[in-house]
């Protein structure tokens, strides 16, 4: 089955009856569609379908924290904020629900529900969704008591294999019971809502579609329960224009307006990974001859498939060539301005295949869309009978007619071979998608031990530079938090920085919404006060800053003075 992200108007049910496909209708006119490939043209020709996207993989962002973020003082007697009455949603690799930090003093669970998108067996998915099993609070408590299903398995067989989700949940909301309170999280009396992201049988990695379903579920759940919601997303990818205009990004912007919620997203760990090159083809000056630009890509051993996206303005014309390490030169088709290979965003027609001996390069050339005036030239290298030719590949761009000149190339992650990278990378604009969305809070990482930037942290700004990203930075180096099995471990990455802000947002929501001090303290308003309390790192003089955001690192939480009993909560 083909899976698509769809932006639509009107009634999808009529189309389902006429064509025959499955659809999960999300909020704000978005849907996840599963359809037989041969039926896709019928769907795409329907007037109800505005645009589509093919889903991409998302990856976890793993590469002392509370005190550096002034959370300890905020949790103190002066304010008494603990997150009570707020849902904290962890969309990740799952959670060790048996860990003491996610249980109350009487041993019952602090988790409202777990949706395991990968699960099969006894149970059903949430209403309106097709995959996995929803484990309720009652079922989790029964599993904690040792009760088993008719098949002899635990009533909740969900397992966090990587430990990533458990670690993230502990930072945002762990109560520290297993450590006597030493490793207590930020919103330690909040209620957890967990989604374990799943993939497909053909590709077990989570997809952007799984992420959208998870966010949709959490927002609807919180609205039905009448609770404010703080969502943590520590996943991302580099497949896209990084301009905030993909269907995933615009969906997150739209769903941010539903209910009383805050969405926090990590900026990724690509800052020093060598996965991005950008520049301008007009840098030689108007009166000089436009020179050919050559990008060097080193491909390590055992790489089987690599995908990169070159984004250029639709009004520019270039000639593009690829050169293999053995010196074979192949030029792309003449009409690089767009060959019409996509129908409403879906690349239905075949691209161009360039042969380099044992390696093939598949090239799809895009065109402007109703949502953006730039286009993608997607290049996929694959080994015909094994691995891609190892060594230095060259991407040559010769300007023909340049009016804008801006170009960006992002290399999607391959087999995690650190030798595969651009040799002269551009660390700016290395935010992973969807932290490039406008309304959610994009969280970068800094090293609280040395009060310095974290080189790995994804940097701003989004390609169109319509707004500043990241929004803020939080501690993300050697953060100790919960590990499966009941103990603790240290991890590094923007995955670890993000839940500090997620937990802080939960404290805001408690103070404003739950306690009635400011019923409108969510969304953009919450983000504004969070940024207002940001501090600066030594040595960084210019703000906003592509490393740490609008105004820097999270050092205090400031509430509106007309409501606060104290001038500042720090």
CA dist 124 and 376 (Å) reads 40
Give the pLDDT score at 349: 58
The residue-averaged pLDDT of 79-108 equals 96
- 252: confidence class by pLDDT, cuts 50, 70, 90: very high
pLDDT, residue 34, reads 95
Q: Name residues whose C-beta falls within 8 Å of residue 122's C-beta, 6 or more positions apart in sequence.
A: 133, 149, 150, 151, 153, 155
Q: Is 57 helix (H, G, I), strand (E, B) or coil?
A: strand
Residue 342: pLDDT band with limits 50, 70, 90: low
Instruction: Give the list of residues 6+ apart from residue 471 with CB closer than 8 angstroms, or none.
Output: 441, 442, 443, 527, 530, 531, 549, 550
3-state class of 458 per DSSP? Answer: coil
Average pLDDT, the chain: 88
Tell me if the bond preceding 470 is cis, omega within 30° of 0. Answer: yes
Q: Residues 280-311: pLDDT tens digits?
A: 987 654 545 567 899 999 999 889 999 999 99
Asked whether the beta carbons of 319 and 331 are under 8 A apart, the reply is yes
Rounded distance between C-alpha atoms, residue 226 and residue 221, angstroms: 9
Contacts of 288 (CB under 8 A, 6+ apart): none
Q: 371 or 517, which is more confident? A: 517
pLDDT at 465: 67
Cα separation, 97 vs 114, in Å, equals: 9
Q: Does residue 490 surpass a pLDDT of 70?
A: yes
Q: Which residue has the higher pLDDT, 142 or 344?
A: 142
Is residue 551 scored above 80 in pLDDT? no
pTM, whole model, 2 decimals? 0.92
466 contacts 438 by C-beta, under 8 angstroms: yes
pLDDT, tens digit, for every residue of 503-545? 999 999 999 999 999 999 999 999 999 988 888 888 887 888 8
Mean pLDDT in residue range 474-481: 95
pLDDT at position 170:
98
Residue 448 in contact with residue 535, Cβ under 8 Å? Answer: no
The answer to whether residue 563 scores a pLDDT higher than 50 is no
Report CA Rg, the chain: 24
Residue 73: its pLDDT value, please?
A: 43
């Amino acid at each position: 089955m083909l899976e698509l992200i769809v932006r639509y108007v009107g009634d999808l049910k009529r189309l389902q009856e006429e064509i025959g496909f499955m659809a999960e209708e999300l909020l704000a006119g978005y849907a996840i569609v599963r359809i037989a490939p041969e039926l896709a043209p019928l769907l795409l020709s329907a007037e109800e379908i505005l645009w589509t996207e093919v889903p991409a993989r998302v990856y976890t962002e793993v590469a002392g924290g509370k005190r550096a973020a002034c959370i300890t003082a905020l949790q103190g007697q002066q304010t008494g904020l603990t997150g009570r009455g707020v849902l904290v949603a962890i969309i990740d690799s799952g959670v060790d629900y048996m860990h003491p930090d996610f249980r109350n003093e009487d041993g019952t669970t602090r988790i409202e529900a777990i949706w395991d998108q990968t699960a099969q067996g006894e149970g059903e998915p949430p209403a309106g969704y097709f995959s996995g099993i929803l484990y309720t609070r009652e079922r989790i408590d029964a599993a904690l008591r040792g009760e088993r299903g008719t098949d002899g398995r635990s009533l909740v067989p969900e397992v966090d294999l990587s430990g990533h989700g458990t670690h993230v949940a502990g930072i945002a909301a762990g109560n520290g019971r297993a450590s006597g309170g030493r490793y207590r999280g930020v919103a330690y009396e909040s209620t957890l809502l967990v989604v374990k992201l799943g993939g497909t049988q053909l590709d077990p990695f989570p997809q952007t579609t799984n992420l959208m379903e998870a966010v949709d579920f959490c927002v609807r759940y919180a609205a039905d329960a009448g609770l404010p919601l703080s969502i943590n997303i520590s996943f991302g990818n580099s497949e896209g224009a990084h301009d905030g205009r993909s269907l995933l990004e615009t969906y997150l912007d739209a769903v941010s307006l539903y209910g009383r919620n805050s969405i926090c997203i990590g900026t990724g760990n690509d800052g020093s990974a060598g996965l991005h090159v950008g520049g301008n083809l007009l840098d030689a000056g108007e009166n000089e001859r436009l020179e050919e630009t050559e990008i060097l890509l080193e491909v390590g051993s055992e790489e089987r498939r690599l995908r990169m996206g070159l984004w250029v303005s639709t009004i520019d014309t270039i000639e593009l060539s690829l050169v293999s390490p053995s010196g074979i030169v192949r030029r792309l088709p003449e009409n690089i301005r767009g060959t019409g290979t996509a129908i409403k965003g879906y690349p239905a027609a075949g691209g161009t295949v360039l042969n380099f001996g044992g390696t093939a390069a598949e090239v799809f050339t895009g065109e402007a869309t109703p949502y953006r005036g730039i286009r993608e030239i997607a290049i996929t290298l694959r080994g015909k009978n094994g691995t891609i030719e190892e060594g230095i590949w060259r991407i040559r761009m010769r300007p023909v007619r340049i009016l804008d000149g801006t170009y960006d190339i992002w290399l999607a992650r391959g087999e995690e071979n650190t030798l595969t990278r651009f040799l002269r990378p551009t660390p700016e604009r290395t935010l992973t998608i969807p932290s490039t969305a406008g309304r959610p809070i994009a969280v970068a990482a800094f090293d609280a031990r040395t009060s310095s930037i974290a080189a790995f942290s994804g940097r701003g700004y989004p390609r169109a530079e319509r707004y500043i990203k990241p929004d803020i930075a939080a501690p993300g180096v050697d953060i100790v938090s919960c590990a499966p099995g009941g103990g603790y471990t240290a991890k590094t990455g923007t995955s670890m920085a993000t839940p500090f802000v997620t937990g802080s947002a939960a404290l805001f929501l408690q103070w404003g919404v739950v306690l009635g001090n400011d019923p409108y303290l969510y969304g953009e308003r919450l983000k504004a006060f969070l940024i207002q309390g940001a501090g600066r790192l030594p040595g960084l003089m210019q703000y906003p800053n592509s490393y740490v955001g609008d105004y820097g690192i999270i050092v205090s939480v400031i509430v509106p003075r007309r409501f606060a009993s104290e001038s500042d909560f720090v």
